[in-house]
């Protein structure tokens, strides 16, 4: 069932020329394959497979742990000595090396801004007709609807029995939803009001509770920008609920449980306290939250959003914590946009304690948190790739987390589009 919510916002602007259709994209389960909903809008499935019909394949030898891409910047070369740091949440290691120079990454012109608000041809807009013939309501706030091309389906058939331990498969069932943040296609979260962002947070928490009543994992994620495979700039995210714990969730389950067993406290709760005291990787903070460039970051401007209080899941947040979350998200995302004066691309997502059958278990080792993975490397036109050594051996950074945090921390908290125009 589609659900729409209203939130206060600025007055509607007049229509503009329709946006040309986005080119077709190849699919994939982890990336943001799209149907008519655009990048992150209605994506999913495997190449050559019917949506939701592919079984979950379990590697017989290697446990997958690769992180999504994201980070970069027009920054000076690192002068620090080489070192390697351990990721607390995954247990993996990442070396910090001297910069390889501006050749690392790709040079591309920023894509033209062609998406007006309220374009009927955009299937995420109010009143638009989507690929399955459904017509969107004329929503004025958030809008949630079932993904038209789901990667997971609740009735997906189970695979047959395996005849060899190297060829294992298990059923992969679930539901996929899309959530529009706002009726205007040319707005992004940092340009929305605090009340509008708070409405997004409330919708996230409601979906996490609703889907988490049945499914062990609810993954809320946003792919923003064409660099992250998002072909539709309408502000939106996806929510996938699965019958299994994905690789990242299993890694974080293990590392957080091990840390609490060894040290007696939740790992990310103690980590937040340490970073708040040390300050060197801190980007922004308020009374309830802090954002840091993680000590173990693999992308130059990767950040981790953490609550100060021990919180297991989004739906456990207090009313005041939701308000302060809206504030700190907006502050972070404004800094991201101000870094290169561009709508900053990223993949982000929430991780919290497992749900479904795990709701009755002791999940006190978990701490709610959000990951932000931006792809930009040195400017608005250069992106970083995880290739070669980084793909086949180990990820590495081009500048230290401390340098990245200082760069972000020093940026203004007024969006560059909303500052008074400079006069010559």
Q: List residues with catalytic annotation.
A: 236
Q: C-alpha angle with apex 370: 142 to 222, nearest 5 degrees?
A: 45
The whole-angstrom separation of Cα 373 and Cα 319 is: 27
Residue 375 makes CB contacts below 8 A (sequence gap 6+) with 69, 70, 71, 72, 225, 227, 228, 299, 345, 346, 383, 384
Buried b (16+ CB within 10 A) or exposed e, 380-405: bbbbbebeeebeeeebbbbbbbebbb
Q: Which H helix or E strand runs over 175?
A: strand 174-180
Strand-by-strand arrangement of the 106-107 sheet: 106-107, 382-383, 376-379
Q: What string of DSSP letters covers 98-167?
A: ----TTSSEE-PPPP----TT-TTSTTSTT-B-TTS-B----SS-EEEE-SS-S-BTTPPPPPPPSSTTS
The whole-angstrom separation of Cα 324 and Cα 344 is: 22
The secondary structure of residue 77, as a DSSP letter, is P
Beta bridge partners of 219: 240
Neighbours of 423 (CB within 10 A): 4
């Amino acid at each position: 069932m589609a659900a729409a919510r209203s939130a206060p916002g600025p007055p509607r602007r007049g229509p503009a020329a329709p946006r040309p259709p986005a080119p077709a994209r190849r699919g994939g389960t982890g990336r943001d394959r799209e149907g008519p909903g655009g990048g992150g809008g209605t994506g999913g499935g495997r190449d050559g497979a019917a949506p939701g019909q592919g079984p979950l394949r379990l590697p017989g030898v290697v446990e997958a742990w690769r992180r999504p891409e994201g980070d970069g910047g027009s920054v000076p070369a690192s002068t620090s000595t080489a070192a390697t740091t351990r990721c607390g949440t995954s247990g993996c290691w990442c070396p910090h090396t001297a910069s390889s120079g501006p050749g690392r990454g790709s040079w591309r012109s920023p894509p033209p801004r062609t998406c007006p608000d309220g374009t009927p041809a955009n299937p995420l807009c109010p009143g638009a007709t989507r690929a399955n013939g459904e017509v969107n309501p004329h929503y004025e706030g958030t809008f949630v609807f079932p993904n038209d091309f789901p990667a997971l389906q609740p009735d997906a058939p189970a695979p047959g029995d395996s005849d060899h331990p190297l060829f294992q498969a298990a059923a992969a069932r679930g539901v996929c939803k899309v959530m529009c943040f706002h009726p205007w296609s040319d707005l992004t979260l940092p340009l929305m009001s605090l009340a509008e962002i708070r409405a997004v947070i409330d919708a996230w928490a409601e979906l996490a509770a609703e889907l988490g009543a049945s499914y062990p994992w609810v993954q809320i994620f946003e792919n923003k920008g064409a660099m992250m495979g998002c072909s539709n700039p309408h502000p939106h995210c996806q929510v996938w609920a699965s019958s299994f714990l994905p690789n990242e969730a299993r890694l974080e389950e293990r590392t957080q449980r091990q840390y609490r067993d060894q040290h007696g406290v939740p790992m990310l709760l103690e980590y937040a306290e340490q970073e708040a005291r040390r300050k060197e990787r801190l980007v922004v903070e308020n009374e309830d939250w802090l954002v840091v460039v993680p000590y173990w970051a693999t992308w130059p401007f990767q950040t981790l959003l953490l609550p100060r209080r021990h919180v297991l899941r989004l739906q456990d947040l207090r009313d005041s914590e939701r308000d302060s979350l809206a504030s700190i998200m907006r502050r972070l995302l404004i800094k991201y946009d101000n870094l290169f004066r561009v709508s900053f691309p990223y993949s982000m997502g929430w991780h919290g304690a497992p749900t479904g059958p795990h709701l009755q278990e002791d999940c006190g080792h978990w701490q709610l948190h959000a990951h932000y993975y931006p792809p930009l490397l040195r400017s608005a036109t250069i992106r970083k790739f995880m290739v070669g050594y980084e793909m086949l051996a180990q990820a590495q950074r081009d500048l230290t987390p401390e340098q990245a945090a200082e760069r972000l921390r020093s940026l203004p908290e007024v969006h560059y589009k909303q500052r008074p125009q400079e006069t010559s």
